[in-house]
Amino acid sequence: MLTVPGVFLRRPLSVYDAKNGIISFLYKVVGKGTKILSEMKSGEIKILGPLGSGYPLTPLSKLQTPNSVIVAGGTGIASVHFLASKLRRKGTLFYGAKTKKDLLCLDKFKKIGWKIIVSTEDGSKGHKGFITKQFEEWSVKSGVNGNNGDAGMRRCADAKQRQNSRGGTGWLKEGKEGMPFSVNSTIHSSNSTLLYVCGPTPMIKAVLEIAKENNINGYVSLEEKMACGIGNCQGCAVKINGVNKMTCKDGPVFKIEEIDLI
Ligand SMILES: Cc1cc2nc3c(=O)[nH]c(=O)nc-3n(C[C@H](O)[C@H](O)[C@H](O)COP(=O)(O)OP(=O)(O)OC[C@H]3O[C@@H](n4cnc5c(N)ncnc54)[C@H](O)[C@@H]3O)c2cc1C
Ligand code: FES
């Protein structure tokens, strides 16, 4: 959560990148707060964070790591860029935006070895229409259905990993030798597919429906409006397994199989 001078509430932004002691954000100017941020030449920005839980990484070798698929819409790409750079096995990015000029970071994903499938609503680049169509066609064609449910995942027998599953804040973490480790309690076979989703709510809803129909597991990052960012105002509640959870504190990343369709 970033404190923006002259604006009452902090604004939530995902970490786009973090290296050499510098944290970067990638955001779209949509209102007063982001406009002020974009016009700041220099100065102090106060940040409250990291907050909530992020995408987990698995403690596996490159060969054992599941096939990764990201579906992102619009500025949702900011939330998955850092993840994509950390995943050991690069996968496929499905990325949709309104027009060509709204597509961001394609060169960055290409550079780190991701296969990219793009769509724009006006057809100015890639497929014309919503990216959910491309993702659905891929889900059916690649036959992930049945290949990714219980067979592709097994409970982690290692007590230490179980402890991790309860513990971590969920922020992207790396082990001592640079081996990413997971904060969740499942590990995956190399031919299973793990999905990561971030974007506008209608896109998330459509992707979750496709994922659930095809037994694709993974994670979704929700972009609810936020006021406090620390679980006090209850303004960002979502239903997870039928129970109200706070997106800021318990999320914003949730397991796809646990989330009730929004
Ligand atoms: C966990 C999280 C991570 C986010 N990460 C990014 C990011 O990396 N890059 C990025 O560009 N945006 C991101 N957003 C959205 C971003 O927080 C809003 O666009 C921003 O707060 C708008 O502030 P503003 O003062 O410019 O606009 P306002 O004047 O407050 O609002 C302008 C418009 O933006 C909408 N809006 C305001 N707050 C939010 C919100 N929290 N979520 C969705 N829509 C909102 C309003 O409904 C309105 O239509 C994220 C949101 C969340 C919850
Ligand atoms: S933003 Fe206040 S509880 Fe989540």
Distances (CA, A) of 231 to 78, 110, 207, 222, 250: 23, 37, 27, 15, 8
pLDDT the model gives residue 174: 36
Residue 240 lies inside a defined structural domain of this protein: no
What residues line ligand 1, using a CB cutoff of 6 Å?
A: 11-14, 26-28, 30-34, 75, 78-79, 223-226, 252
* Residue 62 is assigned to a structural domain of this protein: no
Closest ligand to Cα 222: 1
pTM to 2 decimals? 0.81
Residue 75 placed within a domain: yes
Distance 11 CA to ligand 1 centre (A): 7
Whether residue 141 is contained in a domain is answered as yes
Q: Splitting the chain (262 residues) into consecutive groups of 10 residues, what average pLDDT does each group show?
A: 93 92 91 93 86 78 73 94 87 95 92 94 95 93 55 32 33 34 39 87 93 90 92 93 92 89 59
> Cα–chain-centroid distance for residue 211?
15
In a domain, 26, yes or no: no
Distance 230 CA to ligand 2 centre (A): 6
Q: Is 34 part of any domain?
A: no
Q: In total, how many domains does the chain have?
A: 1
- Domain containing 212 equals 67-220
Residue 192 lies in a domain: yes
Q: Calculate how far, in angstroms, residue 181's C-alpha sits from the geometric centre of ligand 1.
A: 30
- Quick one: pLDDT at residue 145? 52
CATH number for the domain spanning 169: value is 3.40.50.80
Which value, to the nearest 10 degrees, does the dihedral of the CA atoms of residues 155, 160, 161, 163 take?
100
Q: State residue 261's pLDDT score.
A: 62
Q: Per the domain annotation, does 156 fall within a domain?
A: yes
Confidence (pLDDT) at 215:
86
Q: Kindly state the DSSP code that residue 219 receives in the 8-state scheme.
A: E
